[in-house]
Amino acid sequence: MSSAGCIFAEDPNVADFFLDNSRDQEVTVTTVVTRISDGEEIVNDTTTIPKEDHHEYEDPITDVATVRIHVSTAGGLENRLEWEFTDDEATGLWVTIAEDEIDIGPYAA
């Protein structure tokens, strides 16, 4: 798990999750977040992130919930994680997209 994202989280009200492209080229990423309790998709988004840049999802998860986050790239990499979001606005998930893997882990401001 990676907590490297905390250097960007200076505000105690941080985004629910960040996608960090650590590659030296742009990457197209699809992110699907599903609430476990009822199967509702909270996020289903595809975005292109420039090289060595990031994309954030500010507050799509508005309630305390256990969710499954599934992240995949156009090149075939993917990873998923079940995570319990709480009402603590100073924590979130950091997703690092590297050349050969996607790493998902918690971070705190």
Backbone angles phi, psi at 58, to 5 degrees: -60, -65
* pLDDT 10s digits, 67-89: 999 999 999 999 999 988 777 66
**Strand 17-21's sheet: what is its strand order?**
54-57, 17-21, 91-97, 102-108
> What pLDDT, on a 0 to 100 scale, did the predictor assign at position 49?
98
Q: What is the pLDDT of residue 5?
A: 38
- Top pLDDT among 59 and 41 is at 41
Span 6-31, average pLDDT: 77
Report all structural domains of the chain as residue ranges with CATH numbers, in order of start. Answer: 4-108 (2.60.40.180)
How does residue 14 score in pLDDT terms, banded at 50, 70 and 90?
low
Residue 60: is its pLDDT beyond 60? yes
Nearest Cα residue to 73 out of 37, 35, 100: 100
Q: Distance between CA atoms of 61 and 81, rounded to whole angstroms? A: 15
Structure tokens at 19: 């996608």
| pLDDT band, very low/low/confident/very high, at 6 (cuts 50, 70, 90) | very low
- Mean pLDDT computed over 54-68: 84
Least confident of 12-16, 31-35, 37-41, 102-106: 12-16
Where are the strands (E) in 10-62, listed by range? 17-21, 27-35, 41-49, 54-57
Instruction: Give the predicted TM-score (pTM) of the model.
Output: 0.81
